[in-house]
């Protein structure tokens, strides 16, 4: 080894020891005759002190080097030290010395000591890095630069810590399932494409001209087949691939904790994961879990109160509905929306009645990307009259002239507004109103500092609809995936009232992020066949795409179910990262490119020929 100790472990009790350290120069402080190097390795930082005069400071017994005298070796070390620059890789021989009284650095774990160098060797020189490695200045650097030099970005303390945290989390998860008799099984990366779900990444076959493998969107079918194989408890930290457009919390390849169990019900899977998350939180985070057992909310309740199936329950500001109140309103916006089958819901901006027009316009703009045409708003600037209605001077609103006194009183009552609050209303179809208000609620929460960054608010969302109607394709599609079982009592209405069928599915949500989801699966081939037919697949399509599953179900399939959790999202939440790129070693850009490797890239014509692939002219030249 080129080191006897790490740069993070020496303490006052090591004083007098002869040591060799190796690492990167975090920073150099050159005082002329005295040079300080902060030497950094993965484990910490140690101050190395190099003097050009051995007469001073150096304890006699300290110098470990053999024949060479203190004076000359220190001069050598000093000469080298004056050439050294940031991020040089060096090796130091020296002795550990307790720092003089008053010169300790409490910021460093090793701050009680310093290593007095007797020899210094440059193992590797370094160009000046494109951004500062030490400290946190690198956080501000343009992400394109950081991604191009990812190996330097990962050297920065923040990313290095994120990777360490990720390692700890994955290690904890693995141990948790090892201890509970789960079998870790690797499933193939080269699988078969299916039209359900996300777009597949596809891999051409050389041996079979014109045929393609698909990378797994998740190991869903494989893990169910493992249940049929009788493994009972399977898990895997699995890489998944989805060829869809990216977001801060979505990358084309990502990692899931994937697990499946036989002879279980939804409550068993939920209890298992809940215990894991509680223990994981306690182990790796200082933040308290807001509520245990985790609250369980139905999908309908989540949509009603939060407008979204992944509610952030760290704060209140629940949505309220006034559809019935304004059904016959004089205000056309409300009346027409309801008449067209829409809903009218709202959210409160606490103490927002005095917001400027500009600020309110800002809220309206905020809501537009979600399809809302606008926001109706009522500021409660005064008190109600004796009869419970609100006189005009108690309100600030462009729409009160269209609303009846009872309507206003009803809206105020439904919103639970107090004096000084601002009521914000959206009238539109459900698919617009809910997302618009859900996101507006988050925006208000952020603006009013209601969202604590020091809480872990887990919750379960259950009783999802099994199916959803796809207008474009004029058919019903699976919300989760086609293997999810309906609730027992709902199988009877699968064909007649598909919209009312609820699934045996559950999502786990943390601080408004969906971190995982799963379901109890169908394990009978007749039910699975019914499901495929409900999804509009013909018998031949089913046979072609899922015949293997149906066949497998005929050889003794145990009841089973499971869950998958997004590792990056979990780590990002624990790391307080805004994007999962911050917790991945080598992430891709928002357009799916790798700026370090410059992928995707063109390949040789011979390679294409081998794969029986011809690239269309115009698309090739467009690149």
Partner RNA sequence: GGGGGCGUGGUGUAGCGGUUAGCAUGUCGGCCUGUCAAGCCGGAGGUCGCGGGUUCAAAUCCCGUCGCUCCCGCCA
Which residue positions form the known binding site for L-aspartate? 196, 242, 480, 521
On whether the CB atoms of residues 542 and 230 are closer than 8 A, the answer is no
Q: Cβ 47 to RNA, closest distance in Å?
A: 5
Q: What long-range pairs does 66-69 form, CB within 8 A, spacing at least 24? A: none
Q: Where does this chain touch RNA (CB under 7 A) — which range of 3-11, 49-57, 335-343, 551-559?
A: 49-57
On whether the CB atoms of residues 498 and 534 are closer than 8 A, the answer is yes
Q: Cβ 305 to RNA, closest distance in Å?
A: 17
Q: Is 314 in the site for RNA (CB under 7 A)?
A: no
| Cα–Cα distance, 338 to 341 (Å, whole number) | 5
Query: What is the token pair recorded at 155?
Result: 């050297």
Q: Residue ranges for the binding site for ATP?
A: 242-244, 251, 514, 566-569
| Cα–Cα distance, 56 to 100 (Å, whole number) | 13
Q: Residue ranges for the binding site?
A: 196, 242-244, 251, 480, 514, 521, 566-569
Q: Is 261 in the site for RNA (CB under 7 A)?
A: no
Kindly report the backbone phi and psi dihedral angles of residue 291, in degrees, each rounded to the nearest multiple of 5, phi listed first: -155, 130
Q: Where does this chain touch RNA (CB under 7 A) — which range of 29-37, 271-279, 539-547, 607-615?
A: 29-37
Residues with Cβ < 8 Å from 355, sequence gap 6 or more? 349, 363, 379, 422
Among 369, 388, 391, 536, binds RNA (CB under 7 A): 369
Q: How many residues bind RNA (CB under 7 A)?
A: 77
Among 68, 71, 137, 607, binds RNA (CB under 7 A): 137
Q: Cβ 147 to RNA, closest distance in Å?
A: 7
Burial 310-329 (b: 16+ CB within 10 A, else e): bbbbbbebebbebbebbeeb
Site for RNA in 194-213 (CB under 7 A): 197-199
Among 346, 379, 445, 517, binds RNA (CB under 7 A): 517
Among 15, 108, 296, 364, binds RNA (CB under 7 A): 108
**Interface map 589-618 toward RNA (x if CB under 7 A):** xxx-x-x-----------------------
Q: Is 32 in the site for RNA (CB under 7 A)?
A: yes
| Cα–Cα distance, 251 to 590 (Å, whole number) | 8
Site for RNA in 55-84 (CB under 7 A): 55-57
On whether the CB atoms of residues 269 and 462 are closer than 8 A, the answer is no
Among 3, 174, 239, 250, binds RNA (CB under 7 A): 250
Q: Cβ 413 to RNA, closest distance in Å?
A: 31
Rg (CA), the chain: 31
Query: What is the token pair recorded at 462?
Result: 């259950």
Among 180, 247, 418, 524, binds RNA (CB under 7 A): 247
- Sign of the torsion formed by the C-alpha atoms of 328, 331, 336 and 337: negative
- Sign of the torsion formed by the C-alpha atoms of 392, 395, 396 and 401: negative
Q: Which residue has the tokens 């006034």?
A: 322
Q: Cβ 283 to RNA, closest distance in Å?
A: 26
Q: Is 11 in the site for RNA (CB under 7 A)?
A: no
On whether the CB atoms of residues 105 and 38 are closer than 8 A, the answer is no
Site for RNA in 113-132 (CB under 7 A): 114, 128, 130-132
């Amino acid at each position: 080894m080129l080191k006897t100790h790490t740069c993070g472990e020496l303490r006052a009790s090591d004083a007098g020891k002869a040591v060799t350290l190796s690492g990167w120069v975090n920073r150099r402080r050159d005082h002329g005759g005295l040079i300080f190097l902060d030497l950094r390795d993965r484990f910490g930082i140690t101050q190395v002190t190099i003097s050009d005069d051995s007469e001073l400071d150096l304890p006699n017994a300290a110098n470990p080097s053999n024949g060479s005298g203190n004076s000359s070796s220190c001069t050598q070390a000093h000469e080298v030290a004056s050439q050294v620059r940031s991020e040089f890789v060096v090796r130091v021989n020296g002795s550990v010395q307790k720092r003089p009284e008053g010169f300790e650095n409490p910021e460093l774990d090793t701050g009680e000591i310093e290593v007095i160098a007797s020899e210094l060797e440059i193992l590797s020189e370094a160009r000046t890095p494109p951004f500062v490695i030490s400290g946190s200045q690198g956080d501000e650097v343009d992400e394109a630069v950081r991604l191009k030099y990812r190996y330097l970005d990962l050297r920065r303390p923040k990313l290095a810590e994120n990777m360490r945290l990720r390692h700890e989390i994955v290690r904890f998860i693995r141990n948790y399932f090892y201890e509970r008799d789960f079998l870790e099984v690797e499933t193939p990366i080269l699988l078969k494409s299916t039209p359900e779900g996300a777009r597949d990444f596809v891999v051409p076959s050389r041996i079979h001209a014109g045929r393609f493998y698909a990378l797994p969107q998740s190991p869903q079918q494989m893990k169910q087949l493992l249940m049929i194989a009788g493994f009972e408890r399977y898990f895997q930290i699995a890489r998944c691939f989805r060829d869809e457009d990216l977001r801060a919390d979505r990358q084309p390849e990502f990692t899931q904790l994937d697990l499946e169990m036989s002879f279980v019900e939804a409550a068993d899977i939920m209890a298992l994961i809940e215990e894991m998350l509680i223990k994981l939180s306690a182990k790796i985070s200082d933040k308290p879990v807001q509520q245990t057992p985790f609250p369980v909310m139905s999908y309908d309740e989540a949509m009603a109160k939060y407008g979204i199936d992944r509610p952030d329950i760290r704060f209140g500001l629940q949505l309220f509905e006034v559809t019935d109140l304004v059904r016959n309103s004089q205000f056309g916006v409300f009346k027409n929306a309801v008449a067209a089958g829409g809903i009218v819901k709202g959210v409160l901006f606490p103490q927002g009645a005095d917001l400027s027009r500009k600020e309110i316009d800002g809220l309206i703009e905020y809501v537009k990307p979600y399809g809302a045409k606008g926001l109706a708003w009522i500021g409660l600037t005064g008190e109600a009259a004796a009869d419970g209605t609100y006189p005009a001077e108690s309100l600030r609103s462009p729409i009160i002239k269209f609303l009846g006194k009872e309507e206003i009183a009803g809206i105020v009552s439904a919103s639970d507004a107090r004096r000084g609050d601002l009521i914000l209303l959206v009238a539109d179809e459900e698919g617009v109103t809910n997302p618009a208000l859900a996101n507006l609620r988050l925006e208000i929460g952020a603006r009013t500092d209601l969202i604590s960054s020091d809480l872990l608010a887990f919750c379960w969302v259950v009783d999802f609809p099994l199916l959803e109607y796809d207008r474009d394709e004029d058919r019903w599609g699976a919300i989760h995936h086609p293997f999810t079982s309906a609730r027992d009592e709902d199988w009877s209405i699968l064909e007649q009232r598909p919209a009312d069928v609820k699934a045996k599915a559950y999502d786990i949500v943390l601080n408004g992020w969906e971190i995982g989801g799963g379901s109890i699966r169908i394990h009978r081939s007749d039910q699975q066949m019914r499901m495929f037919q409900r999804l509009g697949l013909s018998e031949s399509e089913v046979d072609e795409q899922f015949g293997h599953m149906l066949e497998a179900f005929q050889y003794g399939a145990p009841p089973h179910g499971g869950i998958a959790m997004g590792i990056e999202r979990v780590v990002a939440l624990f790391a307080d990262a805004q994007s999962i790129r911050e917790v991945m070693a080598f992430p891709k850009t928002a357009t799916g490119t790798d700026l370090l490797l410059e992928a995707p890239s063109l390949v040789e014509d011979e390679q294409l020929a081998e794969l029986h692939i011809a690239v269309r002219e115009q698309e090739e030249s467009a690149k």
